[in-house]
Amino acid sequence: METTVEIKEAGGKLGVLVVGIGGAVASTFIAGTLSVRKGVGKPIGSITQLATIRLGKRNENRFPKIKDVVPLAALDDLVFGGWDIFEENIYEAAEHAEVLKKEDLDVVKDELEAIRPMPAVFDRNFVKRLHGTHVKTTASRRTFTEQLREDIRRFKDENQCTRIVVMWAASTEIYIPQSMEHESLVAFERALDEDNTDVISPSMCYAYAAISEGAPFIMGAPNLCVDIPAIWELAEREKVPISGKDYKTGQTLLKTVLAPMLKTRMLGLDGWFSTNILGNRDGEVLDDPGSFKTKEVSKLSVIDTILQTDVYPELYGNIYHKVRINYYPPRKDNKEGWDNIDIVGWLGYPMQLKVDFLCRDSILAAPLCLDLVLFSDLALRCGFYGIQSWLSFYFKSPMHDPDHVPEHDLFIQHTILKNTLRRIIGEPTLDYLD
């Protein structure tokens, strides 16, 4: 097979360090992956574990599984660790998250109990609803980055890993706008040295430390974090892949399927009202207006780009788009998301579409975490670096080069993902006509 991209082998252990490892998403991801590799759980929702990829023309009938033709790290080679502001082990954390049943957790109880979070870098000004005790106490942002780098090196040594991937599955930080300190690496490092706590968030410390240690960084929340020119510059300099932001799991996943449907049929849109009830810790954090604003910006960005409101002003020139998240403890992790969509047909006649998605937040997010870890490691071994827009498929607010428009349409994102994999393994990329 002709290979166009030189791929380093996935030999040795891959360390997966999760920020917010005691949370619902992280513990569900880790417990599930351990269960799958024991042969008990099924990796439903994971492209790397289940999906096939068509190679060649349709009539050639070649549909191997992605994991059989793309050299991904094996699940047996993953070693988990990470940071949290609470010190309970991951078995206890998963019990508290109340996502997976005790019988499912008990399958991998020993392994989960052995995973203990490292003390976190935390600043209550960035996540107002949480009071963590398991935190690093140093006074300065620069020292935090040095301590995190030491954590990464120690974990790598102790577990004899050849590579590390760092993933953010911690709480959503308050909204901060991009400022001049974020515009270049020099300005960012000056702000780090001056301990400018207004503009350098804890998540930026993690990203800076990971990239400096050569570890790909994945941003699963909508935090500004890696989506600033300073960190793009660092990732380019260190030749490290970065991706984000905000896992696309529930309501936004549906939006990026329904909105392209409206556009391809040239149906109009007057309004889209989305509301959610959610009772887990994420819901509690998002009840704070500062954290909600970060999420809101991420959730709102989707429709305008897909519908090309400037190209079709008569169909999409005046859309009222509203997103709400309501903290409602009884539902725990089992979110319910409603959408009321006011659409317009022939001669301007109004119609309505209603969606009621009774989903499980962390059950939807866990397979994305696994895929993103494996694909980010693949990207590193392929020599890809900087923003990995081919992973847009997984994110609500896909990061993109400043001179590119982000792609939100799920099926276009899917084609980009698969064509990138074809390119990596030296197969011709496909269009739909072959």
Binding site for ligand NAD (CB under 6 A): 19-20, 22-26, 83-86, 97, 120-122, 127, 130, 132, 169-172, 202, 220-221, 246-247, 249-250, 280-282, 285, 361-362, 364-365
Cis omega before residue 245 (within 30°)?
yes
With b for 16 or more beta-carbon neighbours within 10 A and e for fewer, the 61-76 pattern comes to eeeeebbebbebbebe
Q: Are residues 419 and 429 in contact, defined by beta-carbon separation less than 8 angstroms?
A: yes
Full DSSP string of 384-399:
--EE-GGGGGGBSS--
Q: Which two tokens stand for residue 422?
A: 């074809």
**Closest CB 155 distance from ligand NAD, rounded Å:** 15
- Nearer to ligand NAD by C-beta: 232 or 395? 395
- Nearer to ligand NAD by C-beta: 129 or 423? 129
**Closest CB 98 distance from ligand NAD, rounded Å:** 10
- Nearer to ligand NAD by C-beta: 46 or 425? 46
- Nearer to ligand NAD by C-beta: 46 or 172? 172
**Closest CB 210 distance from ligand NAD, rounded Å:** 13
Cα–Cα distances (Å) from 107 to 33, 103, 258, 341, in that order, read: 12, 7, 38, 43
- Non-local (6+) Cβ contacts of 343 within 8 A are 262, 267, 268, 269, 270, 350, 351, 352, 353
**Closest CB 222 distance from ligand NAD, rounded Å:** 7
Which of 87, 96, 85, 97 lies closest to 124, judged by CA? 85
- Nearer to ligand NAD by C-beta: 20 or 32? 20
**Closest CB 84 distance from ligand NAD, rounded Å:** 4
**Closest CB 340 distance from ligand NAD, rounded Å:** 21
- Nearer to ligand NAD by C-beta: 27 or 49? 27
Separation CA 277–CA 65 (nearest Å):
37
**In the bound complex, which residue of the shown chain has the CB atom lying closest to ligand NAD?**
23
